[in-house]
């Protein structure tokens, strides 16, 4: 438990992906089975307990100390698990410190009545960090910034194999993953991936470099289709097992029962998960209503019906198609989709073109309908096999040019880790006119990348030289009609938002250029942004 607590603690303060990878990898290398396996399950979200209710934990601590002092402590710390971990009166030598496996195994078998005294016994035996980790584990919210993808990458690093190799076998495995570690440490063969409904590693596209790629590629070799703005998924229905996976192999089946029900086929589809109403695609914001939900109710299913727009076919019946060229797979896909006969599954249509210029026109001015809210185009070489990973050459994504606005820098916040000496998170605003005709800046977004290291230095200097006020790690920056720094901000989409004062929320904003030359009064108006709002 102590090592696991230490890992969670370190991870929670570490910002860099590389440092996190090293922490997880070292932990997996150093800890024994089955502790490390349970830890991995906790990190990847494959463990969940509803054993401990926060109210019961609070009651237990209040039975052991003055409730007034506890209340003040909770007010100060602001997080129940952390407060309890810190204030729990120590009983040194009360018990042996439990190890992680012991805790997990006990919780999996205990009855409701047995759980509470067990938890209190563990809290007595652990130190503050251990108590914190235990309570986070019990209340089901580790929130230490580790995606399951990162955890799988750490496993791959441990074994010196590529991440897709781990992803592919992942769904054949169950915690505490003894067979996975045995394989990664060279003690046994790779666990069998031949489990019905398993995930197959996804093929990804490179970003197209217009300047270089068009000159050397022939339009005759490629087929084009829209890159839809949902999430890339793999829908597998195999020998009675139906699963919906994200492109990194996370199982999201439980969130989309409507889609699962429509998967009456036998095979594995590669496609885009979208909200689809009678064949018309909804904006990404619609799909967001369905993502990351623990429970789905009928109302939500009705308001935001989901479906799959199919790109590719990996498995047709029992036949693996990944070794066939794209044109072959595409033919099979077309008949597969029409045989599926579901209004929730349709085909991503190919876009005929002869020259790159024609394709550029299509991308710049998509026809009426769904293509208007596509992210851009995909180019796939006719003879491309379905290869895991991001091979160079066969597939390209050619995103639409982002929306651009000129906004004025209003606030800056210190970054974390490597960037902690820099003001690197920038809040920017545009002009808004009130009823009296006065113009003032209203914040519309926050960006923390898009600039080079050199530009970051310049931005940091500008912030320090033009600070108006400080609030903790945040500084407000001089910004008015006559003075201010204009930032050209690129973003992918804009949605209405009631949570933002401006009424709009940007998707994926980043700083594309610093407009040292542009007077602040010439930055954009909120009205300009409102015209860009997505109309689903």
Partner 1 sequence: MVKLESLLCPTPAGLYCPPGDFYIDPVRPVPRAVITHGHSDHARAGHGDVAATPQTLDIMACRYGDDFATRRVALAWGETLSRDGVDISLAPAGHVLGSAQAVIRWKGVTAVVSGDYKRRRDPTCQRFEPVPCDLFVTEATFGLPVFRHPDAADEVARLLRSVERFPERTHLVGAYALGKAQRVIALLREAGWDRTIHVHGALLALNALYGRHGVDLGPIAPAGDAAGKLPGEIVLCPPSALADRWSRRFADPVSAFCSGWMRVRARARQRGVELPLVISDHADWDELTKTLAELSPGEVWITHGREEALLRWCELRGQPARALALVGYEDDAE
Q: Of 80, 86, 388, 533, which one interacts with partner 1 (CB under 8 A)?
A: 86
Name the minimum Å distance from CB 77 to partner 1.
6
How far is residue 377's CA from residue 379's CA, in Å, rounded to a whole number?
7
Task: Specify the long-range contacts of residues 435-440, CB closer than 8 Å, at least 24 apart.
Answer: 439/481
Q: What is the C-alpha radius of gyration for the chain, rounded to an integer number of angstroms?
A: 27
Name the minimum Å distance from CB 513 to partner 1.
24
Ranges within 318-347 binding partner 1 (CB under 8 A): none
Please say which residue, 420 or 480, places its beta carbon nearer to partner 1.
420
Query: Is there binding between residue 29 and partner 1 (CB under 8 A)?
Result: no
Residues in Cβ contact with 382 at an 8 Å cutoff, skipping those fewer than 6 apart: 221, 222, 223, 325, 326, 327
Query: Is there binding between residue 26 and partner 1 (CB under 8 A)?
Result: yes
Query: Is there binding between residue 62 and partner 1 (CB under 8 A)?
Result: no
Q: Of 159, 249, 271, 415, which one interacts with partner 1 (CB under 8 A)?
A: 415
Please say which residue, 65 or 350, places its beta carbon nearer to partner 1.
65
Check whether the bond before 176 is cis (ω within 30° of 0).
yes
Query: Is there binding between residue 83 and partner 1 (CB under 8 A)?
Result: yes
**With contacts defined by CB under 8 A, how many residues of the chain interact with partner 1?**
37
How far is residue 180's CA from residue 214's CA, in Å, rounded to a whole number?
43
Q: Of 416, 439, 481, 521, which one interacts with partner 1 (CB under 8 A)?
A: 416
Nearest to 384 by CA among 323, 333, 336, 313: 323
Query: Is there binding between residue 130 and partner 1 (CB under 8 A)?
Result: no
Name the minimum Å distance from CB 468 to partner 1.
19
Q: Of 50, 264, 420, 528, which one interacts with partner 1 (CB under 8 A)?
A: 420
Query: Is there binding between residue 520 and partner 1 (CB under 8 A)?
Result: no
Q: Given the structure tokens 């047995």, which residue do they identify?
A: 114
Active site residue 227: yes
How far is residue 33's CA from residue 118's CA, in Å, rounded to a whole number?
23
Please say which residue, 135 or 173, places its beta carbon nearer to partner 1.
135
Secondary structure (3-state) at 45 = coil
Please say which residue, 90 or 339, places its beta carbon nearer to partner 1.
90
- Cβ(332)–Cβ(320) below 8 Å: no
What is the phi/psi pair of residue 160, to 5°? 65, 35
Q: Given the structure tokens 């070799």, which residue do they identify?
A: 221
Name the minimum Å distance from CB 42 to partner 1.
18
Q: How many CA atoms lie less than 13 Å away from 514 in the CB half-sphere?
A: 18
Ranges within 455-484 binding partner 1 (CB under 8 A): 472-473
Secondary structure (3-state) at 91 = coil
Among candidate residues 227, 299, 302, 399, the one labeled active-site is 227
Check whether the bond before 34 is cis (ω within 30° of 0).
yes
Which secondary-structure segment (H or E) carries 410? strand 403-414
The region of 32-40, 51-59, 64-72, 479-487 touching partner 1 under the rule CB under 8 A is 64-72
Active-site residue set: 227
Residue ranges that bind partner 1, judged by CB under 8 A: 6, 10, 12-15, 19, 22-23, 26, 65-66, 68-70, 72-73, 76-79, 82-83, 86-87, 90, 127-128, 414-418, 420-421, 472-473
């Amino acid at each position: 438990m102590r090592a696991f607590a230490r890992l969670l603690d370190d991870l929670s303060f570490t910002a860099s992906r590389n440092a996190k990878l090293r922490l997880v990898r070292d932990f997996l290398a150093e800890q024994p089975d089955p502790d490390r396996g349970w830890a991995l399950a906790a990190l990847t979200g494959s463990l969940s307990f509803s054993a401990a209710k926060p109210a019961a934990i609070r009651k237990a601590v209040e039975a052991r100390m003055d409730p007034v002092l506890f209340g003040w402590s909770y007010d100060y710390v602001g997080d129940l698990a952390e407060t309890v971990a810190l204030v729990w009166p120590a009983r040194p030598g009360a018990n042996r410190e439990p190890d992680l496996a012991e805790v997990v195994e006990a919780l999996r078998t205990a009855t409701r009545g047995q759980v509470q005294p067990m938890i209190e016994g563990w809290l007595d035996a652990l130190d503050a960090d251990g108590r914190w980790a235990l309570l986070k584990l019990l209340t089901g919210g580790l929130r230490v910034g580790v995606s399951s993808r990162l955890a799988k990458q750490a496993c791959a690093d441990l074994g010196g194999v590529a991440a897709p190799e781990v992803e592919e076998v992942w769904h054949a495995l169950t915690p505490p993953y003894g067979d996975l570690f045995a394989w990664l440490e060279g003690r046994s063969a790779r666990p069998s991936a031949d489990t019905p409904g398993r995930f197959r590693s996804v093929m990804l596209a490179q970003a197209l470099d217009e300047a270089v790629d068009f000159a050397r590629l022939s339009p005759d070799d490629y087929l084009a289709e829209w890159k839809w703005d949902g999430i890339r998924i793999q829908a597998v229905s195999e020998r009675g097992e139906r699963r919906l996976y994200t492109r990194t192999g996370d199982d999201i089946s439980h969130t989309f029962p409507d889609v699962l029900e429509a998967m009456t086929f036998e095979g594995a589809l590669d496609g885009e998960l979208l909200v689809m109403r009678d064949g018309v695609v909804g904006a990404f914001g619609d799909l967001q209503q369905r993502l990351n939900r623990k429970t789905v109710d009928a109302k939500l299913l009705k308001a935001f019906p989901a479906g799959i727009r199919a790109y590719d076919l990996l498995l047709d019946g029992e036949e693996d198609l990944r070794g066939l060229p794209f044109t072959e797979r595409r033919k099979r896909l077309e008949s597969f989709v029409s045989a599926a006969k579901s209004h929730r599954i349709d085909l991503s249509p190919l876009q005929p073109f002869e020259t790159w210029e024609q394709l550029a026109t299509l991308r710049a001015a998509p026809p009426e309908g769904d293509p208007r809210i596509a992210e851009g185009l995909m180019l796939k070489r006719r003879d491309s096999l379905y290869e895991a990973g991001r091979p160079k050459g066969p597939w390209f994504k050619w995103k639409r040019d982002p929306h651009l606005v000129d906004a004025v820098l209003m606030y800056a916040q210190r970054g974390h880790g490597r960037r902690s000496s820099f003001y690197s998170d920038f809040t920017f605003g545009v002009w808004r006119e009130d009823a009296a005709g006065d113009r003032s800046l209203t914040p519309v977004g926050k960006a923390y990348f898009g600039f080079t290291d050199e530009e970051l230095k310049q931005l940091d200097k500008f912030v320090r030289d033009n600070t108006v006020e400080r609030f903790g790690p945040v500084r407000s920056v001089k910004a008015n009609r006559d003075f201010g720094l204009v930032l050209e901000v690129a973003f992918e989409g804009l949605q209405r938002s009631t949570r933002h004062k401006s009424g709009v929320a940007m998707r994926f904003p980043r700083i594309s250029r610093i407009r040292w030359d542009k007077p602040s009064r010439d930055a954009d108006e909120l009205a300009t942004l409102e015209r860009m709002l997505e109309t689903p």
